[in-house]
Structure 1
Amino acid sequence: MASGNDSTTVKEFILLGLTQQPELQLPFFFLFLGIYVVSIVGNLGLIVLIVLNPHLHTPMYYFLFNLSFIDFCYSSVITPKMLVGFVKQNIISHAECMTQLFFFAFFVIDECCILTAMSYDRYVAICKPLLYKVTMSYQVCFMMTVSVYMMGFVGAIAHTICMLRLTFCDGNIINHYMCDIPPLLKLSCTNTSVNELVVFIVVGVNVIGPTLIIFTSYTLIIFNISHIRSTEGRSKAISTCSSHIIAVSIFFGASAFMYLKPSPVGSVGEDKVSTVFYTIVGPMLNPFIYSLRNKDVHIALHKTLKKSMLI
Structure 2
Amino acid sequence: MIMRLRVLGALVVGTACAVGPLQATAAYPEKSIRIVVPLAAGGTVDMVSRLIAKGLAEELGQSVIVENKPGASGLIGTRDVAKANPDGYTLLAVANTFVSAPAFVPNAGYDPLKDFAPVTQTCQIPMVLVANPSVPQHTVKALIEYARAHPGEVSFGSSGVGSTGYIAAELFSRQAGIKMLSVSYKGNAQALTDVVGGQVMMIFDQVSTSGPYIKANKLRALAVTTSTRAVSLPDVPTVAESGLPGYEDVTFNAILAPAGTPEPIVAQLHKAIAKVLSQPALRDQLSGQGIEVKVSDSPEAFGSYLEQAAKKYSGIAQRPAGS
**TM-score (normalised: structure 1):** 0.27
If asked which structure has higher relative contact order (CA below 8 Å, sep 6+), I would say: 1
Structure with the larger strand share: 2
